[in-house]
């Protein structure tokens, strides 16, 4: 089976969307299939346009490209990337709309946060991403043979909004590979905190900074590492109180093969996300056996249990973050129990198992002897 994944994010090792498909490539190949990736940088004409216009422009390039390339058995479109191809009936019955965070849910949560910060969206952004993009995504979903999302909240939204029906809407997860499953010891006293993720409002950085300010002033031995922020360290540190900045280390970009080292060196993982389809960093922290403090955002509420595999705190509640971390710092048995529970939950998402499940889902669209068919005129 020849599969094409069309993504609207860059082919970057720091893009979770791209990384997900790269990770699936080897298991797919081992099963006798091929997985190719098509992204905006494959179209030089798009380089002259700002990414804000991709929902309108990128799908036109994709549709034209697909008319010239009828050789794929299945095409999986990332969110809005396939609205025009699906509208024109290209690869009819053999397309998937796949989400890596459902845009309407993300938009609503981030809009609330930006308004709180005094930086509300401008009207052009609201028109494009609050009105036009959801309409295009809805069109793509309704014309796709399958719709894949990352958690039960997204699935409910898709079905209840009439974008898809229950039979065509499937929750799929990301996978985590062997190198993230660590044999961990738990010190009597925890002092190294870890956050992994982009430094953007929806990841809850403002609440992390407030909580760490209170924690680190009270506990002079505490340290914090912020990894994979994709933001200049001075910008990240500027959100923290001046008196604690010397104990905070920022790593804007970390090669994937070095990430397990950061998980291994930490004692507690903090993930105060406001909205998250499926936090890959959260899954990696689970696999590493770290005790986790997180919010019930997206996938976390499907797989983690408060007091068994994590400590759950409300969104936008720095005080609750402080209280949860304080519980963990001097309680090695609690950290041991939570870390073990998180690692056990992560094993369900081992990359080989996730890849096999994804293949089984996609193969439902094709008879075993299906041959590539030409695109519809």
pLDDT band per the 50, 70, 90 thresholds, residue 365: confident
Integer Cα distance of 180 and 260 in angstroms: 6
Scanning the structure block, which residue is given the tokens 């790269």?
22
Residues 167 and 184 in one domain: no
Residues 143 and 246 in one domain: no
Residues 355 and 335 in one domain: no
223 within a domain of the structure (yes/no): yes
78 within a domain of the structure (yes/no): yes
Residues 19 and 152 in one domain: yes
Length of the chain in residues, anyone?
A: 377
Taking only the tens place, the pLDDT of each residue in 12-28 is 888 888 988 988 888 88
Angle (CA) 277 280 286, round 5°: 115
pLDDT band per the 50, 70, 90 thresholds, residue 374: very low
At residue 364, the pLDDT reads 84
Residues 357 and 261 in one domain: no
The number of folded domains in the chain is 2
Dihedral of alpha carbons 91, 92, 94, 99, sign? positive
Taking only the tens place, the pLDDT of each residue in 47-74 is 888 778 888 999 999 999 999 999 999 9
Taking only the tens place, the pLDDT of each residue in 297-346 is 988 999 999 999 999 999 999 999 999 999 999 999 999 999 999 999 99
Residues 23 and 167 in one domain: yes
Integer Cα distance of 149 and 33 in angstroms: 22
Least confident of 145-149, 169-173, 235-239, 275-279: 275-279
Over pLDDT 90: what percentage of the chain? 74
Q: Which pTM does this prediction carry?
A: 0.91
Residues 244 and 126 in one domain: no
CATH number (domain holding residue 121): 3.40.50.2000
At residue 76, the pLDDT reads 96
Residue-wise burial string across 308-321, b where 16 or more C-beta atoms lie within 10 A, e elsewhere: ebbbbbebbbbebb
Containing domain of residue 130, as a range?
2-175+351-363
């Amino acid at each position: 089976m020849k599969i094409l994944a069309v993504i609207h994010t860059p082919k970057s090792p720091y893009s979770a969307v791209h990384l997900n498909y790269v990770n699936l490539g080897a298991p797919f190949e081992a099963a006798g299939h091929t997985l190719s990736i098509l992204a905006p940088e494959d179209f030089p004409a798009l380089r002259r346009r700002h990414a804000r216009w991709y929902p309108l422009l990128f799908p036109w390039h994709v549709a034209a490209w697909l008319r010239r390339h009828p050789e794929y058995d299945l095409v999986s479109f990332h969110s809005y990337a396939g609205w025009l191809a699906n509208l024109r009936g290209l690869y009819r019955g053999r397309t998937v709309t796949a989400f890596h965070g459902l845009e309407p849910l993300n938009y609503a949560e981030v809009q609330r946060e930006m308004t709180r910060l005094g930086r509300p969206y401008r009207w052009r952004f609201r028109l494009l991403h609050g009105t036009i993009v959801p309409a295009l995504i809805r069109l793509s979903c309704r014309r796709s043979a399958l719709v894949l999302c990352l958690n039960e909240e997204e699935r409910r939204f898709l079905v209840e909004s009439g974008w898809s029906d229950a039979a065509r809407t499937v929750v799929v997860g990301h996978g985590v590979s062997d190198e993230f499953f660590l044999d961990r010891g738990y010190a009597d006293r925890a002092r190294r905190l870890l956050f992994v993720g982009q430094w953007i409002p929806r990841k809850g950085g403002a609440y992390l900074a407030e909580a760490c300010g209170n924690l680190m002033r009270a506990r002079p031995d505490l340290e914090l590492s912020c990894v994979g922020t994709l933001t200049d360290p001075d910008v990240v540190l500027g959100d923290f109180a001046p008196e604690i900045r010397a104990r905070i280390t920022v790593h804007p970009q970390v090669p994937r093969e070095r990430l397990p080292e950061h998980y291994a060196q930490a004692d507690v993982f903090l993930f105060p996300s406001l909205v998250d389809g499926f936090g890959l960093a959260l899954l990696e922290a689970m696999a590493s056996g770290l005790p986790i403090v997180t919010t019930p955002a997206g996938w976390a509420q499907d797989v983690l249990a408060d007091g068994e595999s994590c400590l759950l705190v409300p969104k936008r509640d720095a005080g609750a973050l402080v209280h949860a971390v304080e519980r963990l710092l001097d309680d090695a048995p609690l950290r041991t129990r939570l870390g073990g529970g998180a690692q056990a939950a992560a094993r369900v998402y081992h990359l080989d198992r996730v890849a096999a499940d994804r293949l089984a889902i996609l193969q439902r669209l094709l008879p075993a002897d299906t041959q590539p068919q030409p695109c519809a005129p």
